[in-house]
């Protein structure tokens, strides 16, 4: 049997490895000069490929039963897959990386396994069309057409298009009447037109940050935030960005609230009052110097129209309250997210309702499979998206291997 895999990313490789046996000819088509371009960028080049915390709320889809695909049995397939490839993990706060801490080790392991299995890899080969005729697939480029018994679409999403993912898989899905759940950039920076951004650019701070949509608190994250001239970035922001991105598309009012002093267990205004009692001869800068980045202090003071050289007791009660509030509950209106050129993944995609979730085969066209980020399935930061890519590749590849017509 001839099996074509369109897309040489991690999902395509997992599918190819699982689809291979002595009866099958497996070809991976990749439009870039090299395969696995995006994989090399993951985890800042270290490849965070898995996470110890596998709670279902780390994964997102509009399909009502996510456990049909993300479940302990399936997740074990992913860890077995990497173990069989000889990947030894190093685990940091539950985040799995290859022991070498190099994404290139993952690439080498995938390439070596594919070579051992005799998988053909055709780079510089962009698939431009797929025609389904008389139970066969005509896979076309601008130069040639090849016929296959089965096709696995592993073309990725619209995120980070410079790595090759430009949405071809959605075209194929739509052509054969699969529903595409609306697409939005996810795991992406948030943009604000607040005047504070030019003053806080370059600061990193450990915070608690809440997502507020139409004045309702939706989700809370904690960790390091990066304050930039366009808005905010950092893992905790990425993990809020999915819902904010979708909300903005729907015209909802999106904001975040940042607590810059999450370590303060008591009322922060009281804390400042007490500190002033203990250290009476200090101005605001001196009073906060021990716990607040001076640049952030100046940005907050400027934004609050408060002179940082003043002594705490020279502020009015309203100014004191405002200062404390802007450090514990700084509200930033979000006007946009950065676009697909910056987003790590894409929410939405080929609807899981149009696929058999045991096989990821299309319910519309027999022999056509979808896997990886092209699916309406995405995850938080922390290795969840590579888990999805590998898991869905394993499911599609092992199902495609079986020749139902034999």
**Where does this chain bind ligand FAD (CB under 6 A)?**
6-12, 29-32, 37-39, 41-43, 48, 126-127, 154-156, 159-160, 163-165, 168, 344-345, 372-373, 383-386, 389
Instruction: Give 304 or 392: the residue with its C-beta nearer to ligand FAD.
Output: 392
CB of 137 to ligand FAD, least distance (A): 14
- Nearest distance from C-beta of residue 43 to ligand FAD, angstroms: 3
Q: Give least dist CB 367 to ligand FAD, A.
A: 18
Beta carbon nearer to ligand FAD, 40 or 191 = 40
Closer Cβ to ligand FAD, 231 or 393, answer by number:
393
Please, what is the minimum distance in Å from the beta carbon of residue 11 to ligand FAD?
A: 3
Nearest-approach distance from CB 249 to ligand FAD, in angstroms: 20
User: What's the min distance (Å) between Cβ of 278 and ligand FAD?
Assistant: 45
HEC per residue, the chain: CEEEEECCCHHHHHHHHHHCCCCCEEEEECCCCCCCCCHHHHHHHCCCCEECCCCHHHEECCCCCHHHCCCHHHHHHHHHHHHHCCCCEEEECCEEEECCCCHHHHHHHHHHHHHHHCCEEECCCCCCEEEEECCEEEEECCCCEEEECEEEECCCCCCCHHHCCCCHHHHHHHHCCCCEEEEEEECCCEECCCCCHHHHCCEEEEEEEEEEECCEEEEEEEEEEEECCCEEECHHHHHHHHHHHHHHHCCCCEEEEEECCCCCCCCHHHHHHHHHHHCCCCEHHHHHCCCCCHHHHHHHHHHCCCCCCCEHHHCCHHHHHHHHHHHHCEEEECCEECCCCCCCEEEEEECHHHEECCCCEECCCCCEEECHHHECCEECCCCHHHHHHHHHHHHHHHHHHCCCCC
160 vs 330 by CB, closer to ligand FAD: 160
- Closest distance of CB 373 from ligand FAD, Å: 4
């Amino acid at each position: 049997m001839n099996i074509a895999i369109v897309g040489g990313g991690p999902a395509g490789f997992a599918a190819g490895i699982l689809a291979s046996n002595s009866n099958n000819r497996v070809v991976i088509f990749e439009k870039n000069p090299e395969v696995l371009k995006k994989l090399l960028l993951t985890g800042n080049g270290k490849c965070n490929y898995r996470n110890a915390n596998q709670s279902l709320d780390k994964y997102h889809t509009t399909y009502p039963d996510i456990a049909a695909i993300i479940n302990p049995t399936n997740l074990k397939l992913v860890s077995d897959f990497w173990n069989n490839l000889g990947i030894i993990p190093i685990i940091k706060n539950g985040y799995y990386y290859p022991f070498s801490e190099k994404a290139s080790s993952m690439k080498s392991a995938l390439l070596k396994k594919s070579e051992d299995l005799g998988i053909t890899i055709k780079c510089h080969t962009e698939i431009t069309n797929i025609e389904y005729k008389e139970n066969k697939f005509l896979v076309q480029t601008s130069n040639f057409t090849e016929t296959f018994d089965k096709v696995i679409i592993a073309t990725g999403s619209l995120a980070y298009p410079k790595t090759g993912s430009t949405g071809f898989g959605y075209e194929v899905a739509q052509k054969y009447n699969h529903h595409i759940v609306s697409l939005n950039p996810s795991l992406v920076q948030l943009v604000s037109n607040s005047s504070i951004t030019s003053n806080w650019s370059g600061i990193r701070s450990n915070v608690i940050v809440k997502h507020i949509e139409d004045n309702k608190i939706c989700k809370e994250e904690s960790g390091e935030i990066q304050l930039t001239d366009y808005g905010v970035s950092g893992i905790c922001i990425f993990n809020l960005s999915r819902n904010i991105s979708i909300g903005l598309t729907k015209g909802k009012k999106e904001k975040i609230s940042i607590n810059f002093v999450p370590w303060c267990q008591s009322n922060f205004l009281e804390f400042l009052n007490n500190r002033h009692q203990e250290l009476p001869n200090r101005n605001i800068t001196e009073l906060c110097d021990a716990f607040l980045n001076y640049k952030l202090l100046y940005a907050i003071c400027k934004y609050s129209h408060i002179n940082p050289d003043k002594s705490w007791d020279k502020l009015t009660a309203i100014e004191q309250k405002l200062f404390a509030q802007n450090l514990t509950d700084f509200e930033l209106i979000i006007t946009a997210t950065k676009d697909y050129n910056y987003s790590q993944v894409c929410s939405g995609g080929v609807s899981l309702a149009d696929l058999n979730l045991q096989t990821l085969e299309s319910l519309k066209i027999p022999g056509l499979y979808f896997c990886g980020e092209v699916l309406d399935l995405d995850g938080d930061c922390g290795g969840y998206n590579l888990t999805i890519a590998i898991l869905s590749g394993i499911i599609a590849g092992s199902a495609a291997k079986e020749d139902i017509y034999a």
